[in-house]
Amino acid sequence: MDSRISARALSALLGAWRSREPAYEALADGVRLLCLDSRVAPGTALPAERELASALAVSRTTVAAAYRSLRDTGHIESLRGSGSVTLPLARDSTWPAAVGGVESIDLQQASPPAWPGLAGVVSEVTGSASRIISRSGYDVVGREGLRKAIADRYSRRGLPTSVEQILVTTGAQSAIHLLASVLVRRGERVAIETPTYPHAAEALRRAGARLVSVPVTTDDGWDLDRAAQVFSRTLPTLAYLMPDFQNPTGRTMSPDERTVILDAATRAGSVVVVDETTADLDIDRAATPVPFGADRSARTKVLRVGSLGKTVWGGLRVGWIRADVEVVRRLAVARSAHDLGTPELEQAIAEVLVERLDDILPQRSHLLRTGRDAVAAALRARLPSWRVPDVDGGMSLWVDLPAPLSAPLVMDARSSGLLLSAGPRFGVDGGHERRLRIPFTAPAQDLERAAAILEASWERVRTGAPIALLETYDALV
């Protein structure tokens, strides 16, 4: 048994779980979703029936029936004297590969298919593999040619960068984990957007950070009043931001938003970590701004995380950190506790790709434009009560639902072969039950079919929702 979750913590994660009748099955679905998107890890001991019933203000019979339903579907195991424990779930046991003879659609990960020219680059590089395999195969700082290619690209974008300011990592997630472990001490506050990239929040929490959220919305962008309060009152050690095509909202910071947040971070003495993994996913933005904080390097410490995961292929686990030379040295010293370095073969491939990004990005833009336009048109036609935002780039739409039914909608769509992540998955402080992230990284025909599945699922979920829930929501809005 790896860990326990209290009844209070589980209740907070469940949020607006009572989305349909019978109540026990709505509760079971809520726990299933927490298991499926890893907010409750395998091996976690669930609260006793009586404790959870008290926290949720339901009968013990309801909780017992929910646990029984979870046992029947293989999501938990109950042992006499040990309570109920969540189980590792094989993908095939929770998601049908096909429904009605039609292949299922996986939109849980916003990850485009590989750039079509990747296979040719791999063949080109492996043709000279004898030179690569004669060396150790990895190093803690990164291949000099790749670091130079990344540094030169920053310099061309208006941010002069030396090779010594680049550290190559095994993907952006590895970079975020490394930064969190080196820069954050247990109990320190970290400012972070909400909604946000959930794995970044997990990495920061694992380092012991206390997260303080700054709201961002598709309509209004960053809440600058809240941001000013967060920096001035909590003095966060670090701030994690995605200023360009923020995940999941797709929103990009305006010049005023950049100035206000940078000024607040400077006054608070906060280190700003900018996640640039989506920054190159431009579809039709009128102008590309210089890198966030490029003109403030003397006053604000801005560290940057990038990767080729979204622009080229998620399976190419190469990322990087751009930071001051002193910070790069600290990261390199601490890295051995995480991994021994990035494989050199992947770095050699990445070096060629970084040098060709100016040719790759227009092709990626075309792919994303096709997907965005297809799914936005399909959703607006089939589900006119949903609010579908306009985005200039990124990977996904952060859709506003007419009622807080994101989690049950995701569970229902799953049974029809459509895999999505519910809005609460991206929240820092809970909430977002009336939001749904819909990536547009899949082929257009799959996205149009996904919209049809969502139309049918929405009708079932809305019809089955308790009237009291819908009435309460209507009264609030």
Domain boundaries, the chain: 3-91, 95-110+359-476, 118-355
Q: Show Cβ contacts of residue 301 under 8 Å, excluding neighbours closer than 6 positions.
A: 271, 272, 324, 327
- Between strands 271-275 and 238-241, the pairing is parallel
pLDDT of residue 89: 67
Structure tokens at 251: 């929103």
pLDDT of residue 422: 95
Does residue 222 sit in helix, strand or coil? strand
The whole-angstrom separation of Cα 468 and Cα 440 is 34
The whole-angstrom separation of Cα 179 and Cα 401 is 35
Does residue 437 sit in helix, strand or coil? strand
Q: How many helices and strands (H and E) does the chain possess?
A: 18, 21
Residue 203: phi, psi to the nearest 5? Answer: -65, -40
Structure tokens at 330: 């600290």
pLDDT of residue 91: 47
The whole-angstrom separation of Cα 372 and Cα 367 is 9
CATH architecture of 95-110+359-476: Alpha-Beta Complex (3.90)
- 474 burial level (CB within 10 Å; 0-12, 13-18, 19+): exposed
pLDDT of residue 337: 82
Does residue 128 sit in helix, strand or coil? coil
The whole-angstrom separation of Cα 212 and Cα 228 is 12
Query: What CATH code is assigned to 3-91?
Result: 1.10.10.10
* Sites in the chain below the pLDDT cut of 70: 1-2, 81, 89-101, 134-137, 296-299, 467-477
Structure tokens at 145: 């040619």
Q: Which amino acid is at 189?
A: R
Which fold is adopted by the domain 118-355? Aspartate Aminotransferase; domain 2 (3.40.640)
pLDDT of residue 37: 83
pLDDT of residue 430: 81
- 334 burial level (CB within 10 Å; 0-12, 13-18, 19+): middle
- Between strands 221-222 and 210-217, the pairing is antiparallel
Q: Which CA distances in Å does 304 have to 87, 293, 297, 327?
A: 37, 10, 12, 12
pLDDT of residue 477: 43
- Between strands 3-4 and 44-45, the pairing is parallel
- Between strands 210-217 and 421-422, the pairing is unpaired
pLDDT of residue 60: 94
The whole-angstrom separation of Cα 4 and Cα 8 is 12
pLDDT of residue 420: 96
Q: Show Cβ contacts of residue 384 under 8 Å, excluding neighbours closer than 6 positions.
A: none
Let me know how long the chain is: 477
Asked whether 14 and 5 are in contact (CB, 8 A), the reply is no
438 bridge partner residues: 397
State which H helix or E strand residue 176 sits in: helix 172-183
The whole-angstrom separation of Cα 65 and Cα 22 is 10
Cα-to-chain-centroid distance, residue 72 = 30
* Closest listed residue to residue 250, CA positions, set 393, 426, 438, 400: 393
Neighbours of 176 (CB within 10 A): 26
The whole-angstrom separation of Cα 439 and Cα 398 is 9
The whole-angstrom separation of Cα 359 and Cα 98 is 36
Asked whether 112 and 441 are in contact (CB, 8 A), the reply is yes
pLDDT of residue 341: 87
* Closest listed residue to residue 216, CA positions, set 247, 245, 195, 237: 195
- Kindly report the CA angle at 320 between 327 and 141, in degrees rounded to 5? 60
This prediction's pTM = 0.90
The whole-angstrom separation of Cα 346 and Cα 348 is 5
The whole-angstrom separation of Cα 468 and Cα 453 is 26
pLDDT of residue 1: 43
Neighbours of 120 (CB within 10 A): 11
Instruction: Give residue-wise pLDDT tens across range 196-222.
Output: 999 999 999 999 999 999 999 999 999
Q: Which CA distances in Å does 208 have to 43, 181, 223, 332?
A: 21, 9, 25, 21
* Closest listed residue to residue 204, CA positions, set 293, 305, 86, 330: 305
Asked whether 319 and 174 are in contact (CB, 8 A), the reply is yes
